[in-house]
C-alpha cells in the first residue's frame, strides 16, 4: 500500500483536482464555459487561444495551482491578478450587446462549472460522490471561491442545488455560437504540435486529426444532456461506449497506481528532450529576415490571424504580467509601454491605415528602419522592453537573475536548455545577472545583428 501524500489527505477538493484523469474532462470544462455568450465574446476579442492554445492551457493550469494548492496568501494574490485581468476584458459582442468579464454572474458560471466537472468525472467513471461527499467538496470549493468576493445570492446554495443551476443556465443563458463550436472541435484540428510531442515530427498533422475526432466525440458524450439537447449535438451508442470505456478504464487503472503516478503533486514539469542539432559552419548571410519572421509568428501575432494589431500588443503585455505578482500600478505601466510600442509600429509600418500590419510589412519595414535610423527601436521596442525588465526585476535590485529571466521567456515553446544558454550568452561578465542595458541590447541585437553569432539572437531559441 502506498502512503498518502499530505497535500491530498487534508482536502477532498485537492485530492480530486490532483488526479491525472481530470485531464479526461478538461475539454468538457472548456467547451461548457465557452458556451456562455460573454465568455465566448471575451475569448473572440481578447484571448490568444487560437494561435497559442497550449500556452492558454498552461496559464489556466498555473492559475488553478495558485488558487487551490497554495496557501491563503498565494490564493489572494492570484485572485487579485485575475481581477486585474478581467477588468480589461470588455467590449461589444457580435449582436451589439455590451459585455464585461467583471460580470459576477459570468464569473460564478466559470467557477461553478469547474466544481460540476469534478463531480461529472466521478459519475462518468461509475464511482459518483455520495451526497455527504458532494456537500464536503462544495463547501471546500466555496471556501476558496469566497476570496473572489462574489455575491452569495448568485451562487447555488448547496451542492444539491448545483444540478438545477447548471440546467437553468444552459436553457436560459448559453448560446451555440462559433466560439463554442471552434472550442469543441476546430481548435484541435489546427493546434500546433505540443513541445512534449516533439518525437512525432511530421506525423503531427495526421495525428491531430485523429486526436481531434476522439476528443470531440468523448466531449460531446460527456456534456450535460440538457446542453446536447439544446445545441442539437449528436451522441450515438459508439460515443457512449467510448465514454464508458475511457472513464471506467481510467478509474480501474489509475486508482491502483502509486500516488506519484496517479496524482500531479508537482507544479513543475520535466523538460522534454530535444533533438540533437547538427554541427556545421556558421553561414555568413543576413539572418535578420528569418529571426524577424520568427518573432512575428511566435511573439507578435498573438491572435494567429497573420497580422499584428493593437489586440496583439495588449495580449503580449498580458502575457508579460501573467506570471509576475505585480501591483495594479506596475501592471498598468507594462500595458502603457506596449501601447506606446503599438503606436510606433502603426505610425511606421501601417501604410494603408487599416490598423494592422502583415508579416511581410513588418520584416521589410523593420530592416529598412534600423538600417536607415539605428535609434528607431528606442521609440517603440525599447520602451516596452524596459517596462518588461522592470516588471521582471521582482526584487528591484536593477538586475535579472536566471530565475527572473526564465519567468519572462519561459513557456511551452522554448526548451529550458535554450533558455539557460540564452541567459549565459547575455551574462557577458558571468556574474549570474543581467543589467537593464544588457537586456535592451539583447533585443537590439535580435533585431539588428546580421549573423546569428551575437548573444541576443538566441533569446527566443534558435530558428
What tens digit of pLDDT does each residue of 129-142 get? 999 999 999 999 99
Mean pLDDT score, 371-396: 87
Local structure of 90: helix, strand or coil: strand
More confident of the two residues 121 and 74: 121
**Over 50: is that where the pLDDT of 271 sits?**
no
More confident of the two residues 255 and 414: 255
Winning range, highest mean pLDDT, from 9-13, 42-46, 177-181, 190-194: 177-181
Instruction: Give 178-214 pLDDT, tens digit per residue.
Output: 999 999 988 888 888 887 787 888 898 999 999 999 9
Given this model, what pLDDT does residue 442 score?
A: 84
Instruction: Give 397-415 pLDDT, tens digit per residue.
Output: 888 888 888 777 765 555 5
Residue % of the chain over a pLDDT of 90: 41
Instruction: Give 102-111 pLDDT, tens digit per residue.
Output: 999 999 999 9
**Over 50: is that where the pLDDT of 19 sits?**
yes
Mean pLDDT score, 241-253: 96
Mean of pLDDT over the chain = 84
**What are 63's three cell numbers?**
492559475
**What are 394's three cell numbers?**
521582482
Whose CA is closest to 14, among 71, 72, 69?
69
Given this model, what pLDDT does residue 78 score?
A: 87
**Over 90: is that where the pLDDT of 222 sits?**
yes
Q: Which helix (H) or strand (E) holds 437?
A: helix 436-448
pLDDT confidence band for 21 (50 / 70 / 90): very high
**Over 90: is that where the pLDDT of 293 sits?**
no
Instruction: Give 303-337 pLDDT, tens digit per residue.
Output: 777 889 888 888 888 888 887 878 888 889 999 99
Q: Residues 362, 341: contact at Cβ < 8 Å?
A: no
Give CA 94 to chain center in angstroms. 24
**What are 302's three cell numbers?**
498573438
Q: Provide long-range contacts, Cβ within 8 A and 24+ apart, for 266-270.
A: 267/62, 267/65, 267/69
Amino acid at each position: 500500500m502506498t502512503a498518502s501524500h499530505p497535500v491530498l489527505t487534508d482536502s477532498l477538493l485537492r485530492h480530486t483536482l490532483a488526479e491525472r484523469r481530470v485531464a479526461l474532462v478538461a475539454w468538457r470544462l472548456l467547451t461548457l464555459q465557452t458556451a456562455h455568450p460573454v465568455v465566448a465574446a471575451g475569448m473572440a476579442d481578447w484571448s490568444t487561444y487560437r494561435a497559442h492554445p497550449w500556452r492558454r492551457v498552461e496559464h489556466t493550469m498555473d492559475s488553478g495551482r495558485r488558487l487551490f494548492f497554495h496557501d491563503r496568501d498565494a490564493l489572494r494574490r492570484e485572485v487579485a491578478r485575475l481581477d486585474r485581468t478581467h477588468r480589461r476584458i470588455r467590449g461589444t459582442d457580435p449582436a451589439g450587446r455590451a459585455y464585461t468579464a467583471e460580470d459576477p454572474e459570468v464569473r460564478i458560471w466559470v467557477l461553478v462549472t469547474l466544481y460540476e466537472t469534478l463531480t461529472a468525472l466521478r459519475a462518468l467513471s461509475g464511482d459518483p460522490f455520495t451526497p455527504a461527499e458532494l456537500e464536503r467538496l462544495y463547501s471546500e470549493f466555496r471556501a476558496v471561491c469566497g476570496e473572489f468576493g462574489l455575491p452569495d445570492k448568485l451562487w447555488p446554495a448547496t451542492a444539491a442545488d448545483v444540478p438545477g443551476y447548471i440546467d437553468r443556465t444552459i436553457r436560459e443563458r448559453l448560446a451555440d455560437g462559433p466560439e463554442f463550436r471552434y472550442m469543441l472541435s476546430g481548435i484541435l484540428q489546427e493546434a500546433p504540435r505540443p513541445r512534449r510531442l516533439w518525437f512525432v515530427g511530421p506525423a503531427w498533422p495526421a495525428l491531430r486529426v485523429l486526436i481531434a475526432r476522439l476528443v470531440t466525440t468523448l466531449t460531446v458524450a460527456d456534456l450535460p444532456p440538457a446542453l446536447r439537447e439544446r445545441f442539437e449535438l449528436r451522441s450515438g451508442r459508439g460515443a457512449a461506449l467510448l465514454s464508458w470505456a475511457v472513464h471506467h478504464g481510467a478509474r480501474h487503472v489509475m486508482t491502483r497506481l502509486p500516488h506519484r503516478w496517479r496524482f500531479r503533486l508537482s507544479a513543475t514539469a520535466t523538460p522534454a528532450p530535444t533533438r540533437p542539432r547538427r554541427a556545421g559552419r556558421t553561414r555568413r548571410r543576413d539572418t535578420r529576415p528569418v529571426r524577424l519572421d520568427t518573432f512575428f509568428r511566435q511573439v507578435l501575432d498573438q491572435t494567429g490571424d497573420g497580422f499584428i494589431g493593437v489586440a496583439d500588443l495588449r495580449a503580449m503585455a498580458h502575457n508579460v504580467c501573467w506570471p509576475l505578482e505585480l501591483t495594479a500600478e506596475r501592471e498598468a505601466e507594462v500595458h502603457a509601454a506596449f501601447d506606446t510600442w503599438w503606436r510606433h509600429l502603426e505610425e511606421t509600418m501601417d501604410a494603408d491605415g487599416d490598423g494592422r500590419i502583415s508579416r511581410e510589412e513588418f520584416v521589410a519595414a523593420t530592416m529598412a528602419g534600423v538600417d536607415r535610423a539605428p535609434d528607431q527601436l528606442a521609440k517603440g521596442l525599447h520602451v516596452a522592453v524596459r517596462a518588461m525588465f522592470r516588471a521582471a526585476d521582482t526584487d528591484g535590485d536593477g538586475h535579472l537573475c536566471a530565475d527572473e529571466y526564465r519567468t519572462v521567456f519561459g513557456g511551452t515553446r522554448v526548451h529550458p536548455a535554450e533558455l539557460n544558454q540564452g541567459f549565459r550568452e547575455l551574462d557577458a561578465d558571468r556574474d549570474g545577472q543581467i543589467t537593464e542595458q544588457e537586456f535592451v541590447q539583447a533585443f537590439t541585437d535580435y533585431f539588428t545583428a546580421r549573423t546569428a553569432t551575437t548573444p541576443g539572437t538566441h533569446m527566443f531559441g534558435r530558428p
